[in-house]
Structure 1
């Protein structure tokens, strides 16, 4: 009998900049440990009976292989989740927090029960996020601009000048919006940019330079510091995942 594998799927959300994703974990043997790489994003994750907020990571987050069951989630673009959650991002940095610890337990219980009952939890979660966004309004356009400029490879100094903030003001606004300062966000987005380029078939050295690293050694150091692994190990794990029909998230990337 063929072994069943985890199946990950994602699609763009109707909420601007967000991604809806699902992970189906069938019963069976204990799955290999996985690491989620930092990407500047925050996620609201549903599993039966629970809603959990994944805060912005500064290093690879180790997923407990004993966590069984399927889940659905919405991944918010950098800087967009705090206004929806009503919590500054730095309070959730490197943490997974029950939504009931942030909001009224009665409110969260009713929301969780509503999602539990639906046949399409991911769609229900997306509808909730859209409704919440309509109530709270859009995220700060300044921090959206900051994330966009850094994602495109702009320097922190040039980005600060473009949005008209001093270094201290930009750092303070970034802590609330992203969970860390602009330099850390720039490093994380640059690493993700480099990994995306390697996935297209570009050699490590060329991907490093195109993403804004000094050279391949610079990219290798960033990989060790932020992802806790090497480029070779990361992509070898990715190939193994592909062979086992377990697609990798494009945002919160994983390694086995």
Structure 2
């Protein structure tokens, strides 16, 4: 029982889910999420390098705001690499301010209210670093890292450092994750895996299979079947 819809922040997604108690595989995407759980309250999900296995209890309700790559640090006030591969209570980042947010949201927060929290934080921070969405868009479109660095006017080392703060990892890792997601989206339209590999920029289908397995723990066929 998972649904998503656009949020009131460019590129952000609001999603809801009710767990049936089965483990869930959350694929890496370079994003940070603001989460509310009926069991655990307000949480922050950092950017994952590999698939995260969620073990919610049956009946647990979730509401999430998935922020586009590069936007999360401005909302949460910390570099993305400090949250990499982590799920942390919002209070560990915002302290008393998180308790005030929880009181305001109440026991059954709405997506609009959750998005308003992030919107307010973004406004207070002066908006996201414009480099984040720009680099993410270039890499999502399949641009090589060197070409993306040249286009934004940064050297490789500085781009790597800025990318760790914005996305949680360097541009090569982000490009690899975004390429995998692009390939899976194409495969879900019915395109065969050999053609997907060629169109997404893999050397061959074996390269696609190996990369997906390393990032998610399972082969493409298993993901598509699920």
Check whether TM > 0.5: yes
Q: Which of 81, 86, 96 is 2:72 aligned to?
A: 81
CA distance in 2 between counterparts of 1:84 and 1:126 reads: 11
Equivalent residue number for residue 86 of structure 2: 95
Match in the other structure for 2:97: 107
Report the counterpart of residue 14 of structure 2 in structure 1: 20
Q: Which segments of 5 or more consecutive residues in structure 1 lack a partner in the other structure? A: 1-6, 238-256
| TM-score relative to the length of structure 1 | 0.84
Partners of 1:164 and 1:103 in 2: CA distance:
34
Alignment correspondent of 1:116: 106
Cα RMSD (Å) of the superposition? 1.4
Q: Measure the CA separation in 2 of the matches of 1:59 and 1:126.
A: 26
Question: SS state of the match for residue 170, structure 1?
Answer: helix
1:182 to 146, 166, 171: 171
Runs of 4+ displaced beyond 2 Å: 65-68
Q: CA deviation at 1:121?
A: 2.1
- Contact persistence 2:3–2:16 (CA under 8 A): yes
Partner secondary structure for residue 175 of structure 1: helix
- Does 1 or 2 have the higher relative contact order (CA < 8 Å, sep 6+)? 1
Post-superposition offset of 1:157: 0.4
Equivalenced residues, count: 225
2:144 & 2:181 partners in 1: Cα distance?
16
Q: Which of the residues 11, 22, 25 maps onto 1:32?
A: 22
Which sections of structure 2, spanning at least 5 residues, go unmatched? none
Distance 2:41 2:198 in 1: 42
8 Å CA contact 2:18–2:59 kept in 1: the answer is no
For 2:59 and 2:146, locate their aligned partners in 1 and report how far apart those are by CA, in whole Å. Answer: 44
Aligned to 2:4: 10
Any idea what SS the aligned residue of 2:106 has? Answer: helix
